[in-house]
Each structure stands twice: as C-alpha cells, then as structure tokens.
Structure 1
C-alpha cells in the first residue's frame, strides 16, 4: 500500500481555500486490485459529514438493483406520476420540467426509464416516484444497514430536501410556482443556515469514507452492474471526468454521480483502469462562495492530483497474477 505524501495534503488545503470563505472539501479515494484488495488510498476530511444532494441517488439505485435481483421489482413495471408529485429540478430534466408547466399532466414510465432519468439526468421527480415504490427513505436506510454501510443518512425525499433547502411553499397554480422559482434563484448560491443544519444534524449527509465503501460494494457485486452501466452515462462530465482526461490512456471506464444544490457540489464514482484495478472516489464540497464552474474545476483538480500520484507510484502497471509467469505479463 502506498503512503500518502505531504504534498497532496497541502495541495488539498489550497483547493479547499479556493472554494472560498468557510468552504469545506472532503476526499476519499481508494485504489483496489482486481480482487478488491486495497493498493493505495488518499484522503482529506474523509470522516467529516457533507450534504449529499443527488449523490443519494447512488444508494437508491443500488436498492432498485437489489430488489430486481430479488425478484421484488421489474424493470418493466410501470409507475404513474401525478402533477402534485412533480419536483423542481433542471428545466431540461425529463420529468422535473413538468413542475414548471402551467397545466396538469399525468405521466407513466417504466422502472427502467425512471432509473435512467434518475442517474443520467439527476431527475428528482423520477427519484421520488421510484423511492415511493420501494418504501421510502426507511427502505434505503434498511438497505444500507443490511449492507454494513455506516455514515450515510437518508431522511428526506428529493422534493422534501429541495423544499427545506430553498424554503419552498406549496405551489398552487402558476403564481405559487413562480414564487418558488424566485426562492430557488440563484440555484447555486449558499443558504448557509440550511447547510449548517444538515451538517450539524447529520440529515441527508454522508462521509466521503462511507460513500467509497458503498462504491466498492457496487463495483464488486454483479447484482449492481445495472447501476454502474447507468452511472457511465451521467450527464455532468465537468468534474471527475475532466480530471481523468490526461490519464485517459490508462482508464478503461468511469461511472459516477454528481450532486449539486446551493453551495453543495459533489462527484463520486468508480474508475476502472486498463490493468484490472479500480478506484472508488468521492470528492465533496459545501459552503462554497465561488461560481459553480470553479467548484467543478477544483473537483477535477483533486481527481487529477490523486491519479497522478498513483501513476507516479507505477500503480497502473499490469497487476501481477500469481498463476501467470512474470515473463508472460
């Protein structure tokens, strides 16, 4: 196992400072060999609590896959969503966009479609619809407990989280909807009291270490292959993906999930390397006062620094298989 040198730690301190004011940065990165044995790890504030935002959709997706594997759910099952169940989100999101329309519309989708919307586009309405089918946030917590994952708290639906964070009011008609749009504008400005409450209470938070433990489980268990295949198509490619560009020759694939609300900007993912190793990586930020593009840059920079260190240590050389003579490798 490699030893973390001082330079990256000092560098991460500088990255945290570039996030502005009282911003916080959390990092957990672990490189595993093909059998799941740890080869290297790098961390920074990995046991601190950070609001998850849409990173919570990873354990929800894993619960979906688990229920499908157990025969309790089918990808072809349909779920109907009524107008009052629409959640705010990006206007380009497949279902969230209906929140902003002045007329009622009922939509029906398959579980397969909803899962794709949830991971690819981070659609909040799709998330809540399938979460309701699974039994709510309690079902997610039971799944995490059964999986021996500690350090992740899920209490609110996405609609409830956004309502709390942006202080949204019940929207009756176009007037109420427009009032809520004003409350959400600008979307990526810090609501410090809300973020502080989430951190202090532990609600809707995780530690970077816990997310990496969850990602290792996702990578090692074939029943979660469906989750990873969806994470490969996450629409936001400005964070971890950018940080991997200069190491593209040794990267086989990336599956990840971003999360962004207010001053919260996260990216967590699994990187498969050409030598058979894989990495679980969580980079989380909150309380940032800088533009979202700057937060994206810092997450990319953190990723680049971690992978560069591992590359320098020759950890991406072919992994030795004891059954194969060295001269054949």
Structure 2
C-alpha cells in the first residue's frame, strides 16, 4: 500500500489529513450535506460520494473530484467494454474461450471460476461476463481484459463515451501482486456517476447488452449491506462493489456504485468510495449504507 512507502512523520500527517471531510459540492440541501459529513467520519479514512437523480439532475457530492482506488468496481466498465465489442461484432456472447491455469489469479484473490475448474476449462463470453460482474471473479475479469485489448482499451472506450475520470490500467493478477498497484486503477465519484448514467441511458450499448449488464448488476449477491443495506426491502439496485485486503489495519478500498430505482420510477445513481480506512469491515459497510439511506430519506 502506498502509505507503507512513507516515512513515519509523513504517514501520520497523511492519515490525519485524510480524516476531515472536505470538498463538499455546493448544493441546496445543507442538512443532507451535514448528515453525510457526520456519517463519513465513522470510516476513519477518506470517503468520496456522489449521487444524482438522473431524471432531475439533483446532485450531492463529497470529495467528488478526488481519486479513489476502484478494486472490483472496475469490473463494471470492463463488462460494458466487452458488451460494446459484442455489439460491434468483434466478440460473440456464445463464442468459446479457452481458460488455462495461467489465467487464474492468486489464491488470495477471489475466483469461483478457478475454484470450480482448477485445471482450466473452456467457457463462453456470456459466462465470463456472469463470473466477472455477478460473482466478481478476478480470473474471468483478466480473460475478458485479454479479449478486448487490456485495461488501456477499456479506458479508451470510456473516454470516447465522455467518461474522463475512470482509469482501468491493470489486470486483477497485477493488482494482487503489490498493494500500491490498486491505486493506479481509480475513479472519481463524480465520474463514477457519469459511468452509471452512460449505462442507464444506453448511449454506448445496444438495448439487449444494456439489459444484460443491468440484470447481472441487479442479481449480484456481493455487498448486500452497502448501498442496498438500509433501503426498503424489494428496492431494485443494480450495483458493483469493490473491496481490498486489509493491511496493517488499513483497508484501501470499500466501495459500491449503483443505480437505484425509486418508488416513483425515477433513478438514483450513487457512488460511495471508502479509502484508506481504519474502521472495521462492518463499520465501513455501515457508512456506505447510512449515506445511501440519508440520500434516499432526503430526496424521497
């Protein structure tokens, strides 16, 4: 992790500076902004949040232009880039793809695909997408990255579609090789909203591809105590989480971004990133859930 490279004095200074909640966007809801500040302090780290009601443009953000490591949140834009390649005819959902043992991420990284087929397998692009998004599988993610030309190809796809503040650079295997690599794959909360709006509005994907991506994100069982944790039962949430390892008591990333369908049919896009936090796992997830609930309560 980057902080391990700092001298002790610099480390403690950076840790102290990460705690205060600064850079709140100006808005018309000071009560909501104050509540977000209060909730975020419990993370004992840096929190970035951006939320918008897509149909009305009502927005709130905290540290919205700062960079946060995405971890597995980056599997969402990777999935979208793959589906764009499908729409363009460069890939087919039913095409067979060989997966070898060399494609598998390390044992400390999450990979149901590797666990189910330790000696390798052959599967389809559709199944790799399911593993990548719904199960947050690192090995499937790396195979898909290989098929579409790597992280820079994903970043180029995003920039071509107006998403300027999301960077996909490394494979999952590379991210797992050293703690500081994850910081190269970052997003700002405000640009995470741009990514969510791109998916919602379908500007870069066919109707069929958009529907598949949203279904995978809605069906995912990761992060059930994050954005959706305190929302009313049955609320539709299409989301993607990201979580790092905890090293020396500090967790680099506990994230969730998604599109929430509101009771009146409108859509709330929300991105919450908790970075370099000393709070425990339960508390970090609670911060995300409480911020999401605070926005819901204020706007619904």
TM-score by length of 2: 0.82
Say whether residues 1:142 and 2:123 are aligned partners: no
Would you say the 8 A contact 2:110–2:137 is kept in 1? no
Cα deviation, 1:121-147, whole Å, max 9, x if unaligned, reads 100000001110111112101101211
> Counterparts of 1:142 and 1:304 in 2: how far apart (Å)?
34
Shift of residue 82, structure 1, vs aligned partner: 1.2
Contact 2:114 2:120 in 1 (8 A): no
CA distance in 2, matches of 1:92, 1:131: 17
Between structure 1 and structure 2, the one with the greater Rg is 1
1:287 alignment counterpart: 276
**Aligned-partner SS, 1:60:** helix
Query: How many residues are matched?
Result: 263
> Unmatched 5+ residue regions in structure 2?
1-25, 246-250
Aligned counterparts of 1:293 and 1:139: Cα–Cα separation in 2:
35
Q: What is the alpha-carbon distance in structure 2 between the residues aligned to residue 42 and residue 15 of structure 1?
A: 15
Distance 1:83 1:290 in 2: 36
User: Which residue number corresponds to residue 226 of structure 2?
Assistant: 239
Find out whether 1:220 has 2:201 as its counterpart: yes
Shift of 1:11: 2.3
Contact 1:88–1:124 (Cα < 8 Å) also in 2: no
Map of 1:15 onto structure 2? 39
Asked if 2 retains the 8 angstrom alpha-carbon contact of 1:90 and 1:96, the reply is no
Counterpart CA distance in 1 for 2:215 and 2:173 is: 26
Alignment match of 1:24 (pick from 46, 57, 77): 46
Any conservation in 2 of the 1:26–1:283 contact (CA below 8 Å)?
yes
Secondary structure of 1:163's partner?
Answer: coil
TM-score with structure 1 length normalisation? 0.75
Partner of 1:204: 185
Q: Which moved more, 1:66-75 or 1:48-57?
A: 66-75
Note closer, same or farther for the CA distance 1:87–1:160 as it changes in structure 2 (3 Å cut): same
Ranges in structure 1 where 5+ consecutive residues have no aligned partner: 166-193, 312-329
C-alpha distance in structure 2 between counterparts of 1:308 and 1:44, whole Å: 18
Assess if the C-alpha contact under 8 Å between 2:166 and 2:186 holds in 1.
yes
Distance 1:211 1:109, change over 3 A: same
Distance 1:3 1:92 in 2: 39
Deviations 1:50-109 (CA, angstroms, capped at 9, x unpaired): 0000000111011111111112111111111111221136787422437xx9xx612111
Q: Indicate conservation of the 8 Å contact 2:110/2:136, yes or no.
A: no
Equivalent residue for 2:260? 271
Greater Cα offset, 228-237 or 81-90: 81-90
Contact 1:255 1:270 in 2 (8 A): yes
SS in 2 for 1:218: helix
